[in-house]
Amino acid sequence: MTVYIIRRVLQLIPVLLGVSILVFSLMHLTPGNPAQLMAGESAPPDTIEQIEESLGLNDPLPVQYWDYISGVVQGDLGTSMRYNTPVADEVWPKFKVTLELSIYSTILSIFMGLLAGIISAVRQYSISDITIMIIALFGLSMPNFWLGLMLIQWFAVNLGWFPPTGWEGPSSIVLPVISLGTAGAAIIARMTRSSMLDVISQDYIRTARAKGVKKRVIIYKHALKNALIPVVTVAGLQFGALLAGAVLTESVFAINGMGRLLVDSIIQRDFPVVQACILIIAVVFVVVNLIVDISYKFLNKRIDLND
């Protein structure tokens, strides 16, 4: 197991390297001179030169990349063009908000998704199964930003139960978390259902029945543990999707998180901030996936650890 973990961590290095190169290239792939773009069309040549100088844009690309990556490793994410402050100071407090939003939403997705999926599988073709699957299909097909707006309309504006915007206090997190977590819950519910149904038809379930095990014990002990294995992978991927989806949810609920910062910075062409936000989300996602992969191996004893 230890060897497996070490090897998976080592495999991460080329991916992270690639991610950082891609993120670094963002600024250089942009058509036109980045310094000009940042300073604006009518900026005097002095200003542009100054920006070019401060960003090191006149150095050869490998040197620029080296400067960039060695800064990142030391926690220096560059300087915001808009505020002229260190990007790290700008990003980290907001990252915390986004992380909270994503974690709560993932928890909601997993909890609701598992519950719904198990009920559906155990009562296959019943009214509750059909209802759950129709709701899941809708959940999957709804844009989370639209769901957010509708939730605001009903529960904040009409009923006044929750504040329509913000991220302060427990009542303010309810609507954003539902809005962001619904699609994930739908995906996990569908996955859990099909995985459970698959497991229920396996030979070892018949063996358990032949031993005289109760139906409820068969479902929760023998079937669920096996059915969870593929669900774990989906839940990990969902966490990443929610982290990125937070961009939209934060925009809808006016939450001061990293997603909103990213969108604003893209519009303002504040490249260092854009790079930092994208890099952080990608790295968190890759690391979460690694953890999921390792727990997958841990759960799934059948898989050869040398794979």
112 to 151, contacts with another protein by CB under 8 A? 124, 137-138, 140-143, 145-146, 149-150
- Find, among 253, 19, 1, the residue nearest to 147 by Cα: 253
Number of residues that bind another protein (CB under 8 A): 71
Separation between Cα atoms, residue 117 and residue 14, nearest integer Å: 37
99 binds another protein (CB under 8 A): no
Residues between 224 and 263 that touch another protein (CB under 8 A): 225-226, 229, 237, 240-245, 247-248, 251-252, 262-263
41 binds another protein (CB under 8 A): no
23 binds another protein (CB under 8 A): yes
Cα separations in angstroms, 57 against 63, 64, 266: 10, 7, 19
Instruction: Please give the backbone phi and psi of residue 214, each rounded to the nearest 5 degrees, phi first.
Output: -65, 150
Separation between Cα atoms, residue 296 and residue 231, nearest integer Å: 10
The H-or-E segment that residue 12 falls in is: helix 2-29
- Find, among 144, 146, 148, the residue nearest to 156 by Cα: 148
Q: Which of 213, 233, 256, 294 binds another protein (CB under 8 A)?
A: 213
Which residue lies nearer to another protein by CB, 83 or 138? 138
Task: Specify whether the CB–CB gap between 195 and 227 falls below 8 A.
Answer: yes
Stretch that binds another protein, among 43-51, 86-94, 105-113, 296-304 (CB under 8 A): 296-304
CB of 212 to another protein, least distance (A): 4
214 binds another protein (CB under 8 A): yes
198 binds another protein (CB under 8 A): yes
